[in-house]
Structure 1
Amino acid sequence: MTRRSPAPLLLALAALAALAAVPSLAPHARADEAREGAPSTIAVVCPPGDRFGLRVVAELESLGFRAAILDPAADGPASRASLEASAREAGAIAAIRAVPSGRGVEVWIADRVTGKTVLREMAHGAGDAGAPDRDAALALRVVELLRASLLETSLPAPPPGELPATPEIREKLRVPPPAALAAAPSPPSPALRVSLAPGALLSPGGLGAAASLDLGLAVMPSEHVGVVAFAAFPLTSARLEQPQLSVDLSVQLTGAGVRFTTRADRWAPSADIGLAVVSLQGSGMVVTSGFSDSESSAMTLAPFMRLGLAFAVTPSFRLRADVLASVVAQGVSFQTVERDIATWGRPIMLSSAGVDLGWF
């Protein structure tokens, strides 16, 4: 007697079972697709017509969620199990229930996406008491508490929940990555800037330093290149005093050029290159048995380079320091009959520090 193998019979039964399961799986697949395409539902457990519950519903709908009100009569006291059951019954991603407490309301939130249940007591604060509608203020805080819970779905490793986060939730609660926040462009700085800074003007050669007031103007049509102009007005004179000799030199610098700078949130270095007009007014006295006094003035051109560094307290207000270097082709010489007693202009150094104000 030949015994048949049961393998063909088992394969036939498995094929029949698979064909029978296909029609039953199709409605579930269509239901899942419809659920993903529909607005996310939040269940609000409150009695019909409850003023606070209706406020919470209004806040949820303003964010694009669909809210469903469930009567808590059959649920009994608030608990995690009852709230999660209410959310499942409504096909909601989360359920909210607010219970009055001694200081305000006790809020329960069951979040099926993160798998957490949040319990928070919200007191009636001084700000709520003075608001036109205290319920509206509390409802807004409840919705923000739900948003804070759902925001955890944006973490690199979100907590596992009963339901996956739908594309709609990810879009509503999308948080830019830290790199995008760091690269966010800062507001443009004003294009027109005026600086005012006291400074010191010095040229080695025998004369001392002189105090000056540096007034500057910069126009920056682009972030890196602009034009500048400045004028350094003398506050004191460069002086040389000897037992029988006194020399004074008053110098004014006026210049214009091009500024190169880098854009920075706080520190902004710059470099200026241009041409300056050097105006000189000198006087000297030689004391002998009588005396002789002479005054002279001159004007010449000199190239300059100025390096600066600004610290932005605000986009419109900066603290600024500059160092200017220049040289006069033919320096100024103070002489007596016997010898040269002082020279000036080879080189010139002007250092200043003050404020930089921006407009437009």
Structure 2
Amino acid sequence: MTRRSPAPLLLALAALAAGSSLAASARADEALEDASSTIAVVCAPGDRFGLRVVAELESLGFRAAILDPAADAPASRASLEASARDAGAIAAIRAVPSGRGVEVWIADRVTGKTVLREMAGDAGAPDSDAALALRVVELLRASLLEAALPAPPPGELPATPEIREKLRVPAPAALADPPSPSPPPSPALRVALAPGALLSPGGLGAAASVDLGVVWMPSEHAGAVAFAAIPLTSARIERANLDVDLSVQLTGGGARFTTRAGRWAPSADLGLAVVSLQSTGMVVSSSFSNGEPSTMTVAPFTRLGLAFAVTPTFRLRADVLASVVVEGVSIQIAGREIATWGRPILLSSAGIDLGWF
């Protein structure tokens, strides 16, 4: 007598159990998929208003299941939630006629809330049912939006990606305040053109000049600057039998420091300037011989400025430069000093500032 091995039978039973498990899992997944996009509308099968609500829901891609309320209890939270749960739906809607229009009940299983709202209807308006149905669907959307709050209300069902997509519910991170838009980058190379006035207290008058500047800003806060203040008039002193004109040109360079680029941009410059003096008359100092028409010296300078950006490439700006010629310039008559120049030097200018790239 031959005894058969039980292995084939065990394998067959295991395969049957696995198949049953897969089938149950598939049915569960299908049920979850249905629940993720099904809305139950509790109304009579031929109810005109209920059918309009169904049409609005289906236009958004939801599955709409009509439930006959004949067997249900009167409209209440418990009965509506039970209807949604029995239909495997994420929410249930029921509209009951009222004195002003309709009384709308919405049981939302995603947020765990039941919404009750009375909506006034306009019986004389054309297609008033369509307008009311749209308002009912928007009320449901507003309820589901609460699922995107940082601390959403607890519900029976999660807000699945399908629900978020169909209702376009933003993710919680999207509800945070959006970051402020960063200003467009300011051009790194700028050219300035500004008329100005050159003044040195000490007896000589102010002189008009034009201030030309070039700035290179490889970073937001620091860069290099070069400028030239070209004289348009001379500083003059007039006495009996004596006229003295002093024409001054400043040329310099240094470092510029500024704040983050914005509508207003203050700046500070530090560097050295070459001071070129051209004179007529009697000018005497430790660095000048009597009657010398011109000379040149070096002086430190600092300049403060403020620019207003009309556009990223076009700005209005104003600057004030201060410097000092250590040895100074002395104007004398018969050994008596009648004027000085260079202690300090002040150059103020206002004009335009153009960005290149």
TM-score range, shorter chain: 0.5 to 0.7
2:156 is the alignment partner of 1:181: no
CA contact (8 A) 1:83 1:110 kept: no
Encode CA deviations 1:144-201: one digit per residue, 9 max, x unaligned. Answer: xxxxx9988767799999997544565764584564422x432211100001111111
In structure 2, relative to structure 1, the CA distance for the partners of 1:194 and 1:249 (3 Å cut) is same
TM-score w.r.t. the length of structure 2 is 0.59
For residue 207 of structure 2, what is the amino acid of its counterpart?
A: A
| Equivalent position of 1:115 in the other structure | 140
Query: Counterpart of 2:55 in structure 1: which amino acid?
Result: L
Provide the rounded CA distance (Å) in 2 between the counterparts of 1:234 and 1:154.
67
- State yes or no: 1:251 paired with 2:276: no
Pairing of 1:165-176 with structure 2 (within 5 A)? 165-167=159-161, 170=164, 173=170, 176=174
Structure 2, gaps ≥5 residues long = 1-23, 40-45, 66-88, 92-125, 284-289
**Tell me, what secondary structure is at the counterpart of 1:314?**
coil
Q: In structure 2, do the counterparts of structure 1 residues 31 and 251 end up closer, same or farther at CA, with 3 Å as the change threshold? A: same
Distance 1:285 1:303, change over 3 A: closer
- Following TM superposition, by how much is the alpha carbon of 1:301 offset from its aligned partner in structure 2, in angstroms? 0.3
- Are residue 337 (structure 1) and residue 337 (structure 2) matched? no
State the secondary structure of the residue aligned to 2:179.
helix
TM-fit CA distance, 1:307 = 0.7
How many Å separate the matches in 1 of 2:243 and 2:38? 92
- 1:270 correspondence with 2:267: yes
Q: Give the 3-state SS of the residue equivalent to 1:30 in structure 2.
A: helix
Q: Alpha carbon RMSD of aligned pairs, Å?
A: 4.3
Alignment of 1:179-218 (within 5 A): 179-182=177-180, 184-218=181-215
Counterpart position of 2:64 = 89
State yes or no: 1:357 paired with 2:354.
yes
Identity %: 64
User: For the residues of structure 2 that align with 1:355 and 1:150, how far apart are their CA atoms?
Assistant: 55
8 Å Cα contact 1:216/1:230 also seen in 2: yes
Whole-angstrom CA distance in 2 between matches of 1:88 and 1:163: 17
TM-score (norm 1): 0.59
SS at match of 2:274: strand
Output the CA distance in 2 between the equivalents of 1:308 and 1:264.
Answer: 14
Q: Which residue of 1 is the match for residue 317 of structure 2?
A: 320
Who is 1:9 aligned against?
A: none
In structure 2, what is the Cα distance between the partners aligned to 1:163 and 1:111? 21
Deviation at 1:337, TM superposition (A): 1.4
Which residue identity lines up with residue 140 of structure 2 in the other structure? G
User: Aligned partners of 1:170, 1:179: CA distance in 2, in Å?
Assistant: 20
State the Cα distance separating 1:84 from its structure 2 match: 5.2
Note the 1:11-26 alignment, pairs <5 A: none
Would the aligned equivalents of 2:185 and 2:261 in 1 still touch at CA under 8 Å?
no
Give the Cα separation in 1 of the matches to 2:212 and 2:57.
74
Paired position in structure 1 for 2:306:
309
Alignment coverage as a number of residue pairs: 261
Question: In 2 relative to 1, CA 29–208 (structure 1 residues): closer, same or farther, beyond 3 Å?
Answer: farther
What code does the residue aligned with 2:200 have?
A: S
* Equivalence map 1:27-46=2 (5 Å): 30-31=29-30, 33-34=32-33
Q: Which residue of 1 aligns with 2:79?
A: none
Q: Which runs of 5+ in 1 are unaligned?
A: 1-24, 43-73, 94-100, 118-148, 287-292
